Each structure stands twice: as structure tokens, then as C-alpha cells.
Structure 1
């Protein structure tokens, strides 16, 4: 009987000890959350018709891999057109920078010499020999006129006696008229030579000489800096347009910006996609993190703090995480509770980045975060 009493007393003592241990040694603080990954939604800034789809949902891709290709439509033709335009602008710029050719300068100098000689000729006026020659031609014309008058008078007398025909008389009359006109022409020529060059002709010749001289000087000095800058600006504008088209061509190939996994993809060749609209989404598996909510009585956590994580899927493989975010403002459940009893439901959102060297974790797994930093350091 005494032995049984001792056993019962011992059993009761153990129970009381366990109760006191659980009371004064509470379970370390922990919160639960879901493993998440950053989602990236990819698209094209130009849009168009889908030419090829090179990946499938759930497929792992590397940074720089081409995921979707779009048809170029008229981008290739526009690129070729802008390449020709750029070549023309570059040639024009090179012409302005190089300046005029030596042959063009010599041609301008020859034109100046020609006009200068013409001006000198007009300034000096006719030579004495030219005036004397004009007087000689006038004398010859007057002599021919007198001969034509004598012939006409003789034919007129014969015609009155019916000794010559009417046709012969008419021929003599026409010869007299031609000789008289020739005398008038020779008289005018002599007057022009004797009067010399008019003032208007001298001014015109001087202006032509000056114009040719300025044209020659322009070729010697080349193009103005403003013209070169304008040609350079036109070249740069054409280059910018070509670069813009080439960037649009790059947008025809939707590439992966990171190493990740394709999460959602619903495209087929021939589908139309809008410019700037997401066409697929992928997850960044290089940086997994847990979103959790910490009660205010356990909010003594800080950014950069190491914490221990445990997962039901891998119970024997504890992980280490780093707190990267702690909300500055608490959240209420419900949001309008202000009583002292319900204030314990006030929580702060935290974000814990997971160190996963084994690459076994997947978004969606449940994880427990142990807020005791000592456990993480161990």
C-alpha cells in the first residue's frame, strides 16, 4: 500500500513539474508564412503577330534566352530605308568637311579671269583699227549704193524705150534698196564704235566680275562652320532614327532578363499581342522569400537579422533566412479594433529572404519562421 502511494505521488509530482516547465519555458516565438518569389511579367514595347513560341509553362530558362519572337512586319524595310538615308547624310557631311575640289576652285578662277578680261575690254573701248575698219566698210557700202543708183537709172531709161524687161528693172531697184540699207547699217556701226562703251554695260561687267570673285573666294575658304554643324545634325538625326528602329527590332525578340521559371504562358504562333502588354510571366527562383506577420508583442525584429526556418516538406533540413523588410505601420484584424484585449491582434508584415543552396524550395510551400536569433546563429 505504501509502495503504491509512493508511485502515485511520484507520478503526480512529474505531472506538476511538466506543467510548471511548460508554464515557465514557453515554446520559442514563431510565425508561419508561404514561400514566394518575385513575378516578372514580360512583353514587347512594339507588339505585333507572334511568329514563334520557344518555351512552355514550367520550363526553366536562363538570362538572355529568347522566349517569344514576333513578326517584323515593315521594320526591315524601314531599317533599310533609314540606312540609305544615313549614308546620304554622312556623304553630305563628308562633302562639307572636305570642302570644294581643286578643279572647282580652278574653274571659278577661270570664270573670274574671263569676266575680268571682258570688263577690261569694255573699259578701254573700241580700238582705232576697229573704227577705221568700220569707216572703210561704210565707204564700200556708199560706193556700192552709188553703183546701184547708176544701174537703176540706166535700166529705167531703157525700160521707157522698151529696151529691157520689167524683171530687169525690178532687179535693179532691189539692188539699190539693199545697197541703201547696207549704208545705213555701216553708219550705225561706225557711230557705236565712235561713241564707245555705255555706262550701263560697264556697271554690269563690273558686277559680274565682283560676283565671280566672291564665288572664287567662297571656294577657297570652304563651307561655313554653321553649314557643317547643320550637316552633322542631319547625320545625327538620321542615326537616331536608325537606332530607334533597331531597338524596335530588338523588341521583336522577348528575352528572359533573369534565370527563372516560366509560370504562365498562353500564346500560339499567329496570336496578336498589344504593345506594352504582358504576354507571359516568370518567377525569379534565385531569390525566394517568405511573407509573414509578426504580432506586436513579438515585433522585436530588425532588418538584417538572421532567423531559422523550418518546412514540413523538409523537416530535417533547417534553413537560414535574413529579414529584409519590416513594415513601419501595423495592420489590424479587424482594422477598427481599439480595445486592450483585441490589441494583441495587431501585426507587422515582415519579409524574410531564404538562403537555399540546395535549390529544393518551390514557391507555395509553407514555412515556419523562428524569431529567436540565437537559434539562427547556432
Structure 2
């Protein structure tokens, strides 16, 4: 008798297993007034907003439950340090640009004239010391000047010749202008300085957190005075005006649906018109047990999305009835 009870219990369990798994493989649906109503779930886009830059929160401009528009400012970070870095970057850019302009455009006429005058003065001085040295040399040979005095004159002459040569080289450099390599290097410094300034300006823009889309603020995570790191979550935002229902159809059922099909979405007596906006061609797989044998069979289901044309009475997560 005890063995019979055990068999009966096992039989009941197996029967329930087949019934439950068999039902799970079917599209959720009910018969209502002679029409098949498919069960689906209302979904909406939820956007999680985080900060791209670290900093201290200066001001939070919205609260939970508030409706916001695309581009509306939600939060501001303190920017005192960034503003100081911006001034430094602007100064570095001006300096780099000046060096590049000078290398590219060459010397001004006044600079060329000044270099010529310096060269002429240096050459005149060298010539004067040359004449003086020759005169002292003749007098030294006649015994009128000492060797020490002659050596001093020679030293002054050598220095004057070097100065004249240097002045001549400086004039030639000015006339020839900067080398192409120097111009390219100066241009690269300008680009580097501009990039540093652009990076700071971008950080200043990111210090003002704006709504990427319209919707309702669900959560405010941090508040004024708090210090946040890069990637810190700040808000979650849901657009309740753009909602849809997701349904899963088996392969035979999905062939009866087309994009553009009209639908009625119902929940607790509230009804909204809808339209099929997408039918996935990539199936999901469910596994059921065959009632005839113990082998597993794959059952494919396809995701169908129906847009709510009047979303006001509905909320994400609701299980609704959809008729076509």
C-alpha cells in the first residue's frame, strides 16, 4: 500500500511538470468576448545620467518627480579650478601663436635695418682696431711700445673681429628667415596649446549636466556640496510619453503580425490605441518537455513591440491585454 501511494505521488508530480512547462512555452493569452487578448508588459526608456568629470556639486536644479525637457540643466559643478586652468591655457596658446607667426612671417623691416646697423658698427670697430694694431706694431718694432701693449691691442682686435662676424651671421639669419623645420615645430606647439584649451573648455561644458532627453526625474542620487568622481551616477530619467508593450509570439503566431498593425491595449478598464512598431527576426529560445517522450525540444519566440499612442494611464511594468 505504501508503494502505491509513492507511485501516485510521482505520477502527479510528473503530470504537473508537463502541464506547467507546456504552458510556459505558449504565448501568454486569454479569451475575452470571443477575441484572443495577448498578455504583454509595458516598457519605457530609462536613462541613467552620470558625470564625465570629477568635482564638487555647486547646485542641483531639479527634484524627484519633476518633468524636464531635452537640454534642461539638471546640475552644476564648481568650476573655479577649471577657470584658472583655462586662463593658463589661453596664455600658452597666445605665446605659441606669436612664436609661430614670427617664424612664418620672418623679421620686420625695422629688425632688418637694426641688424644691418649693428653689423656695420661691428665692422667699423674691427677696422679701427685693425689700423690701431698695425700702427702699434710698427712702433713696437721701432722700440716705442712694449710687447705687453702690443698684445693688448691684438686681443682687442681679435674680439672686435669676432663681434663683427657674429653681427654678420645674425643679419644673414634674419634675411633667410626661419627654417621649415622650425616653422613646423612652432605650428605643432600652437596645435598642442589649442588642444589643451579645447580639453578644458570641454570639461567646463561637462560641468553643467543637462537632460539628454525629455522625461520625468525618477531619482536624484547626490546633492549640493558632495564631491563626485568621474562616472558617478547622478540621476535616472524616464520618458513616460514614449512607452510600448512587449509581447512574445511563437513562430506560427508572429507570422500573423505586421509592422503597422493596429492594436488595443487594456489594463483595468483603461484602454489605449496602439500600433506595431517592430517585429524581431531574431528568436529567443524556450525549452519544453515533450509529452510523448523525455527528449527536449526548442521552441522559438519572437519579440513584438506595440507603441502606446495614448500612454497617460499606463506605467512601466504593468501587465496588459493586447488585442489586434
Query: What's the TM-score once normalised by structure 1's chain length?
Result: 0.64
Report the alpha carbon displacement of residue 257 of structure 1 after superposing the two structures with TM: 0.7
Correspondent of 1:363 among 312, 316, 321? 316
The Cα shift of 1:225 comes to: 2.9
CA contact (8 A) 2:246 2:306 kept: no
2:250–2:302 CA contact under 8 A, matched in 1: no
| Structure 2 residue 282 is the aligned partner of structure 1 residue 328 | yes
Residue 54 of structure 1 corresponds to which residue in structure 2? 61
The C-alpha deviation readout for 1:80-116, integer Å capped at 9, x for no partner, is: 2222222222233333334223232122212322343
1:298 alignment partner in structure 2: 253
**1:221 counterpart = 2:176:** yes
Identify the residue that residue 82 of structure 2 maps to in structure 1.
Answer: 75
1:3 aligned residue: none
Q: Structure 1's 30 and 81: CA in aligned 2 closer, same or farther, altered over 3 A?
A: same
Q: Does 1:101 align with 2:55?
A: no
SS in 2 for 1:75: helix
Report the Cα distance in structure 1 between the residues aligned to 2:100 and 2:225, rounded to whole angstroms: 44
Give the 3 Å change call, closer, same or farther, for CA 203–62 of structure 1 in structure 2. Answer: same
How do residues 1-378 of structure 1 correspond to structure 2 at under 5 angstroms?
27-72=34-79, 74-118=81-125, 134=139, 186-188=144-146, 209-301=164-256, 304-313=259-268, 315=270, 317-326=271-280, 328-332=282-286, 335=287, 337-338=289-290, 346=299, 348-356=301-309, 359-370=312-323, 372=324
Residue 338 of structure 1 deviates from its aligned partner by: 5.0
TM-score (norm 2): 0.73
SS at match of 1:74: helix
* d(CA) in 2 for partners of 1:122, 1:46: 69
Aligned length: 289
Structure with the higher fraction of residues in strand conformation: 2
**Could you say if the C-alpha distance between residues 346 and 340 of structure 1 is closer, same or farther in structure 2, counting changes exceeding 3 Å?**
farther
- After TM superposition, give the deviation of residue 216 of structure 1 in Å: 1.0
Measured in 1, the distance between the counterparts of 2:311 and 2:254 equals: 30
CA contact (8 A) 2:243 2:311 kept: no
Give the RMSD, CA atoms, in angstroms: 3.8
What runs of 5+ residues in structure 1 fail to find an aligned partner? 1-25, 139-183, 373-378
Instruction: Give the conservation status (yes or no) of the 8 Å contact 1:37–1:287.
Output: yes
Provide the secondary structure at the position in 2 that maps to 1:37.
strand
Shift of 1:281: 0.6
User: Could you tell me which residue of structure 2 aligns to residue 159 of structure 1?
Assistant: none
C-alpha spacing 1:349/1:70, structure 2 compared with 1 (3 Å): farther
> Compared with structure 1, are the counterparts of its residues 188 and 247 closer, same or farther at alpha carbon in structure 2 (3 Å cutoff)?
same
CA shift at 1:258, angstroms?
A: 0.6
| Counterpart contact for 1:296–1:344, Cα < 8 Å | no
Deviation, structure 1 residue 36? 1.0
**Secondary structure of the residue that 2:48 maps to in structure 1?**
strand
CA 1:345–1:323: 2 relative to 1, 3 Å? farther
**Structure 2: 5+ residue stretches without partners:** 1-32
Q: Distance in 2 between matches of 1:263 and 1:102?
A: 68
The answer to whether the Cα contact below 8 Å between 1:83 and 1:242 also exists between their aligned partners in 2 is yes
Residues 204 and 71 of structure 1, relative CA distance in 2, 3 Å threshold: closer
Q: Are the equivalent residues in 2 in contact too, given 1:323–1:350 (CA < 8 A)?
A: no
